[in-house]
Amino acid sequence: AQSVTQPDIHITVSEGASLELRCNYSYGATPYLFWYVQSPGQGLQLLLKYFSGDTLVQGIKGFEAEFKRSQSSFNLRKPSVHWSDAAEYFCAVDPGRRALTFGSGTRLQVQP
């Protein structure tokens, strides 16, 4: 069965530090890959998506993600974190069944 794993439940970084959130997927073929962010009490907002082509994709708010087929990974990165980036981040895949499968999420805390 298709699955998405986010191994880090909670991450704390200092403001201005770099960030990498991990995401691994299990699927027979290359799925369509997404990262969403959820601020407290809010819905989910799309940060970026990968369908094909260049394996490094740029998103909103200065985020980027790199698709690595050999590692079945789609890690999210940001060079310099801002306090407003504190939120929960979800990796998701569309394995072609018309709906997204989500990981369990990584909560990001930003220290001043």
Partner 1 sequence: NAGVTQTPKFQVLKTGQSMTLQCAQDMNHNSMYWYRQDPGMGLRLIYYSASEGTTDKGEVPNGYNVSRLNKREFSLRLESAAPSQTSVYFCASAGGLLNSGNTIYFGEGSWLTVV
Please state the closest distance from residue 80 (CB atom) to partner 1, in A: 26
Residues in Cβ contact with 2 at an 8 Å cutoff, skipping those fewer than 6 apart = 25, 26, 27, 31, 93, 95, 101
- Name which of 29, 25, 11 is nearest 65 in CA terms: 25
- Identify the residue among 23, 90, 108, 110 touching partner 1 (CB under 8 A): 90
11 lies in the site for partner 1, by CB under 8 A: no
Please state the closest distance from residue 43 (CB atom) to partner 1, in A: 4
Residue numbers 14-53 binding partner 1 by CB under 8 A? 32, 36, 41-46, 49, 51
Buried b (16+ CB within 10 A) or exposed e, 31-45: bebbbbbeeeeeebe
- Footprint of partner 1 on this chain (CB under 8 A)? 4, 6, 9, 32, 36, 41-46, 49, 51, 90, 92, 94, 96, 98-105
